[in-house]
Amino acid sequence: MPDPFTSRVIAIIKRIPPGNVLTYGLIAKFAGNPRGARQVSRILHSMSSTEGLPWHRVINAEGRIVLASDLEKDEQAALLREEGIVVSPDHRVDLDRYLWKSVNIDY
DNA sequence: TTAGTGACAGGCA
DNA sequence: CTGCCTGCCACTA
């Protein structure tokens, strides 16, 4: 079994509704570790199997898509656009508009 | 064991 | 706006 933090991160990401996004730092905070942003990114990177995980709805605090390759960035941007999210050519989204605000999860 | 690294964040010039 | 620095924490050489 993975540690509690990891399971919570997975649970939260699974509940992000289509058309909305969350940031690494926010997810970490909701999962109980305000300083775990980098862990969230690492979890997604390793669990790239993405078993039904909407990983593409996770972006950084600036509303930017930051991945290793430009190819991956375009891929994620395409997935987001399919959900109606406007992604600028330089891979940025409007957080004020698409950030998932009604995060309410009980453990 | 120490040093470097990264799908991050926040402050500052 | 961009770039640099610091704090963070797990992983790797």
- The predicted pLDDT at position A105 comes to 55
**Across A19-38, average pLDDT:** 94
pLDDT score of A107 more than 60: no
Statement: the CB of A66 is under 7 Å from strand B: yes
Spacing of A85 CA from B9 C1' in Å: 24
Question: Is the predicted pLDDT of residue A104 greater than 70, yes or no?
Answer: no
Nucleotide nearest A37, from its CA to each C1': B8
A25 CA, C5 C1': separation in Å? 19
Tell me which DSSP letter residue A91 carries.
S
User: Can you give the distance from the CA of residue A81 to the C1' of nucleotide C3 in angstroms?
Assistant: 30
Per-residue CA distances from A103 to A63, A69, A75, A83 (Å):
18, 30, 26, 19
CA of A50 to C1' of B13 (A): 40
- CA of A66: nucleotide with nearest C1': B7
The H-or-E segment that residue A107 falls in is none
The mean pLDDT value for A75-91 works out to 94
pLDDT of A33-73, one tens digit each?
999 999 999 999 888 666 789 999 999 999 999 987 788 89
Confidence of residue A19 (pLDDT cuts 50, 70, 90): very high
